[in-house]
């Protein structure tokens, strides 16, 4: 995997702690804060190590895929239930 570099000076960057909720959300989407190793530059910002497509196929996203499957499944049951009710009333 390619080493991440500072967009300002091209020096190596290191991982920085997430400061707030917004950064935590972005972190879960594959972006995370980095800080420039060069103290004179002191750049800090969010960078994406993985592309969005990589993220979608990344193991962590299985969790999100599961949620989508569960929601789809519940919607299916819900729709089946509504249809079932209509069918019952039709025969009464």
Rounded Cα distance, 42 and 1, in Å: 24
Q: Write the interaction track for Zn ion spanning residues 32-61; mark x where CB under 5 A is met and - where it is not.
A: ----x-x--x-x------------------
Contact 12, 37 (CB under 8 A): yes
| Token digits of residue 20 | 């707030």
Among 4, 5, 8, 26, interactor with Zn ion by CB under 5 A: 8
Smallest gap from Cβ 1 to Zn ion, in A, equals 20
Rounded Cα distance, 6 and 52, in Å: 20
Binding site residues, Zn ion, CB under 5 A: 6, 8-9, 11, 36, 38, 41, 43
């Amino acid at each position: 995997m390619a080493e991440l570099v500072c967009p300002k000076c091209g020096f190596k960057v290191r991982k920085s702690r997430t400061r707030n909720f917004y950064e935590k959300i972005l972190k879960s989407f594959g972006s995370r804060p980095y800080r420039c190793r060069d103290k004179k530059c002191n750049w800090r910002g969010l960078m994406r190590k993985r592309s969005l497509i990589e993220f979608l196929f990344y193991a962590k996203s299985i969790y999100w895929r599961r949620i989508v499957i569960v929601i789809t499944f519940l919607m299916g049951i819900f729709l089946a239930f509504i249809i079932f009710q209509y069918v019952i009333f039709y025969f009464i």
